[in-house]
Homo-oligomer: A and B are copies of this chain.
């Protein structure tokens, strides 16, 4: 079969690449590092967007839109920020092309050079805080709770579809607050929203925690993260929420008059998730037959395939199937009846397995006689013959069960792949042979983290929230430590 995937056990990275391409999720474009998100992939992203957008609005946020371009001078105003992003900025320098016969065609017009270069936003803190300066005068203007859905560009040298691309789609929340406490509260609230979304919609268990200084967002005082574990034992940072302190307010001179009439700098947060979540979704659950999608994000939740030999049988089957379709739709279930006659059922089965459709129904003449239908689950590949009576309720329950079951499987996998270690030998051994999260004592210094990374490729993924405190010694340096942190090799 043309659409066979490289097995995960053989080459996980190739399996991922095969799957993204063959399930029609995305492909590399002619522009280095930029991807095309194909309709089926985009349909999943749209479902993610819809749920996240609803969650943002329910927590009091509104959407807005800020410019794609950032003047270079703005970009440079916050020192850590520019340091963090300068190496990967796409820069617009000209605003016109012209025809030049001598040079053999269309060239950039040298007379149309911009006075100041524009950076294609890699993230929008600078342009947004420059705007907020005019929006915020008094404590009555706060909080400002704004989100933006946008494309951003980071000129990454090594790219992988969804996981790391030069252009990607994301949302970025940028909030402004009167007090430090309120800003921290917002930062935590949003990492909780992300965790809720990951767990309840993506069926992806995540660990919430703080990033270490090494891994913090450029310009943040504290970065909260949700970290998920992929099937190859590598971690994937799936969303971050940053407490920015007054760094951007100071860089852009954003002050407000507080209730006591004194001027103060505004407190900031920013938080974002991106199309990288697509990579997490794919890698966490899928298998050698293709995608496994949690029902809550599947563009097609149920596919119905008719099984017949003669055309007139299809007609009888269709009549019954259309009733089922109506019943399912009435329950808000997304269903596709694939009655195309140029593909065999076996081909269709494989195709919808590849595409991760959670439930497949097959209906043939025998089923019509018996009042039954064959129900196949994508996640476990189990098949059952069930009565057509009450089929919609049955399917609805089954979809809920699948959602939960996919989550539980990933949760158990993570539990099995999380190891407490107390010595450096153990640390290396576990990372090399088992992978996953390694819970170990660390002396808290960036230097030790760097050394550990250079020797094992593992980094501190996070210091979990409400982390248990215990006396110990750093696995690497032997220096005293008050808590374990989670290490892993990461995407």
Are the C-beta atoms of B106 and A96 separated by less than 8 Å?
A: no
Of the residues B63, B82, B88, B130, contact of A39 by C-beta under 8 Å: B63
Given A63-B46, A86-B99, A97-B89, also A30-B74 (CB < 8 A): yes
- Stretch of A6-14, A112-120, A381-389, A398-406 that contacts chain B: A112-120
Whether A91 is near chain B, meaning CB under 8 Å from some CB there, is: yes
Are the C-beta atoms of B96 and A167 separated by less than 8 Å?
A: no
Are the C-beta atoms of A39 and B66 separated by less than 8 Å?
A: no
Whether A76 is near chain B, meaning CB under 8 Å from some CB there, is: yes
Per-residue B-contact encoding for A95-108, CB less than 8 Å = 1, 0 else: 11111000001101
Whether A258 is near chain B, meaning CB under 8 Å from some CB there, is: no
Whether A454 is near chain B, meaning CB under 8 Å from some CB there, is: no
Give the distance in Å from the alpha carbon of A200 to the alpha carbon of B436 in the complex.
55
Interface hub of A31, A42, A74, A146 (most chain B Cβ within 10 A): A31
Give the distance in Å from the alpha carbon of A82 to the alpha carbon of B98 in the complex.
9
For window 7-36 of A, CB contacts with B under 8 Å fall at 27, 29-31, 34-36
Given A31-B69, A31-B70, A151-B151, also A91-B88 (CB < 8 A): no
Contacts of A140 in B (CB 8 A): 342
Whether A345 is near chain B, meaning CB under 8 Å from some CB there, is: no
Contacts of A64 in B (CB 8 A): 36-39, 42
Whether A194 is near chain B, meaning CB under 8 Å from some CB there, is: no
Whether A72 is near chain B, meaning CB under 8 Å from some CB there, is: yes
Whether A395 is near chain B, meaning CB under 8 Å from some CB there, is: no
Given A39-B64, A75-B106, also A167-B69 (CB < 8 A): yes
Give the distance in Å from the alpha carbon of A108 to the alpha carbon of B87 in the complex.
10
Of the residues B70, B97, B146, B153, contact of A68 by C-beta under 8 Å: B153
Give the distance in Å from the alpha carbon of A108 to the alpha carbon of B169 in the complex.
25
Interface size of A by CB at 8 A reads: 63
Whether A143 is near chain B, meaning CB under 8 Å from some CB there, is: no
Whether A347 is near chain B, meaning CB under 8 Å from some CB there, is: no
Per-residue B-contact encoding for A43-85, CB less than 8 Å = 1, 0 else: 1011000000000000000111111111110111000001000
Whether A94 is near chain B, meaning CB under 8 Å from some CB there, is: yes
Contacts of A146 in B (CB 8 A): 39
Whether A127 is near chain B, meaning CB under 8 Å from some CB there, is: yes
Given A68-B167, A91-B97, A97-B72, also A86-B63 (CB < 8 A): no
Are the C-beta atoms of B71 and A30 separated by less than 8 Å?
A: yes
Give the distance in Å from the alpha carbon of A62 to the alpha carbon of B94 in the complex.
34
Whether A93 is near chain B, meaning CB under 8 Å from some CB there, is: yes
Whether A432 is near chain B, meaning CB under 8 Å from some CB there, is: no
| Minimum C-beta distance from A132 to chain B (A) | 10
Are the C-beta atoms of B95 and A155 separated by less than 8 Å?
A: yes
Whether A131 is near chain B, meaning CB under 8 Å from some CB there, is: yes
Q: What are 5 A-B pairs with beta-carbon distances under 8 A?
A: A46-B63, A75-B97, A90-B95, A92-B93, A96-B155
